[in-house]
Copies of this chain bind each other. A is one copy, B any other.
Amino acid sequence: MRILIIGGEGTIGKVVSDHFSEEHEVITAGRKHGDVTVDIADSASIDTMLEKVGRVDAIICIAGEAKWAPFNALSEEDFYIGLRSKLMGQVNLVRKGRNYLNPNGSITLSTGILADDPVVKTSSAAMVNGALHSFVKAVALEIESGIRLNVVSLGMVEDAYEKYKDYFPGHNPVPMEKVVNAYVRSVKGRDHGRIIKYYE
């Protein structure tokens, strides 16, 4: 299998890339690091990346940003950071990426627990995650050529626990083994239109 992982050098992406690399050809993409560069907030940059990479069997996106701040402090423009990057970046990856998939290929997006169980300062991030959950359900009804589309929604992951634990009082870290399994399930299973939730 040939697998494109956007964000493949990030905290979660690196672990997922390393796992798939054991048996498959993995191409990583990122803003600064990776085999190819891409800024998913820029749809022309997505085109360039896909053109360079060519046909693949799976596209995994573990990238995209949204601004974390108190609701009172978020401007209209701040909300658009998340809408352009984590939301429309992933939507555009589906719109464009499906044309680069081999038959029966799959696309896996990433969101997180905030969609269902937000914490303070995450009104923008939660919104983007919730949007993607409903988007995946809706597109799954229509997408053609046997393409499968899923989204992985994780709780706070173990490797980010030290950095983020103060934002998530009382949350339980998700072991990295489960993190990897969520993506393996999406890529190698038969799930389609599914929100793969691993909350501890």
Interface residues of A (CB under 8 A from B): 43, 70-72, 74, 76, 79-80, 83, 87-88, 91-92, 95, 114-123, 125-135, 137-139, 141-144
Contacts and interface: CB of A to CB of B under 8 A. Distances in A.
A136 to B, nearest CB: 9
Interface of A, helix, strand, loop or mixed by DSSP: helix
Given A72-B144, A131-B134, 11 more contacts: A74-B95, A87-B127, A115-B134, A118-B134, A118-B141, A122-B138, A123-B138, A123-B139, A126-B135, A126-B137, A130-B132
Contacts of A72: 142, 144
Oligomer copy total: 2
A142 to B, nearest CB: 5
A76 B123 contact: no
Which residue, of A71, A95, A134, A142, has the highest number of chain B Cβ atoms within 10 A? A134
